[in-house]
Amino acid sequence: MPAKVVVIGSLNMDLVTRAPRLPRGGETLIGQSFATVSGGKGANQAVAAARLGAQVSMVGCVGSDAYGEALRGALLAEQIDCQAVSTVEDSSGVALIVVDDNSQNAIVIVAGANGALTPEVIDRFDAVLQAADVIICQLEVPDATVGHALKRGRELGKTVILNPAPASRPLPADWYAAIDYLIPNESEASALSGLPVDTLSTAETAAARLIAMGAGKVIITLGSQGSLFADGKRFEHFPAPKVKAVDTTAAGDTFVGGFAAALAAGKSEADAIRFGQVAAALSVTRAGAQPSIPTLPDVQAFKAP
Ligand code: RIB
């Protein structure tokens, strides 16, 4: 049986435009294309873990609209267990995304149904959490729910991963003791630690601070620079495979899902990080959130250029 990954988080329909550059305030740009693509950090991480070898259950909420049906259908198509994906009387979460010619993006999300994922819903699906090997949370659902899920995961003795995305402020101090792996990007690591993070050396200082705050281990993702691992005893830098980027949307989600799937399958931390990085590198060579996420054979066949 493949190892079991449970993802607790958001499902969003991504409304994606491509434009030569990101618009400035008050400016109208002529876009080049538009697409409606299944996304949401939680759902993307669930799809990544499933395509990369894990058995996956999703815990989340969609709206009673056509997007909700499509978001659920996208997960079912990946054989992801959706018994804990509830349909609520609201609009589904949406993300308005602009991707520019340099493959950078800007995103505005509207939570919609994701806001209905309360701690009580987590308790209702406790059996799903009990069956997990690894539990992953992000920050696109209410903070009270994330804190509750992290602590329940810790109580159950599961491996608990928090991808604190999006984060613009420190996390509640009492969450840290429940986190085995904290996986922020540079700006999230900066928001959480209160320190600048723009070089490998500043990333090390921030990671040390996050461990002092109580996180078990920290992996700061550094985009094309790879990632920095810290466990309180040592730091290790993992350079990223070099690829030609088309769209970085969901690269972080692909790393988190791939890392979780590999860790749950028994790989070492170092191998799980390298595996997640190859998956994330492949994802940036393709457009969109879930459509960009590679499969296990894609990762196994990858050869660094
Ligand atoms: O991480 C990428 C995701 O962020 C997109 O799919 C979008 O839905 C936003 O949540």
- Ligand 1: atom nearest CA of 249 is 2
- In whole angstroms, what separates CA 231 from the centre of its chain? 21
Ligand 1 atom with the smallest distance to the CA of 14 is 8
Which residues are CB-contacts of 138 (< 8 A; sequence separation ≥ 6)? 9, 10, 41, 42, 45, 146, 162, 163, 164, 165, 256
Tell me how far the alpha carbon of residue 96 lies from the centroid of ligand 1, in angstroms.
Answer: 9
pLDDT in tens, the chain (305 residues): 777 999 999 999 999 999 999 999 999 999 999 999 999 999 999 999 999 999 999 999 999 999 999 999 999 999 999 999 999 999 999 999 999 999 889 999 999 999 999 999 999 999 999 999 999 999 999 999 999 999 999 999 999 999 999 988 899 999 999 999 999 999 999 999 999 999 999 999 999 999 999 999 999 999 999 999 999 999 999 999 999 999 999 999 999 999 999 999 999 999 999 999 999 999 999 999 999 999 999 999 998 76
DSSP letter, residue 246: S
Of 249, 283, 284, 286, the one to substitute when testing ligand 1's pocket (max ligand atoms within 8 A of C-beta) is: 249
3-state secondary structure of 177: helix
Q: What is the pLDDT of residue 257?
A: 98
Fold of 4-11+40-91+113-292: UDP-N-acetylmuramoyl-L-alanine:D-glutamate ligase (3.40.1190)
| CA 246 vs CA 61, 105, 225: distances in Å | 30, 11, 17
Within 8 A by CB and 6+ apart from 296, the residues are 51, 52, 53
What is the per-residue pLDDT for 291? 95
Residues carrying an active site annotation: 253
User: Which 8-state DSSP code applies to residue 90?
Assistant: S
Three-state SS at 305: coil
| 97 CA closest ligand 1 atom index | 7
Q: What is the DSSP letter of 1?
A: -
Q: Report the C-alpha gap between 92 and 99 in whole angstroms.
A: 22
Token match 């904290």: residue?
A: 182
∠ CA(124), CA(168), CA(175), 5° rounding?
Answer: 45
- Centre of ligand 1 to C-alpha 264, Å, is 24
Residues with CB under 6 A from ligand 1: 10, 12, 14, 39-41, 44, 95, 107, 109, 140, 249-250, 252-253, 289
pLDDT score recorded for residue 168 = 80
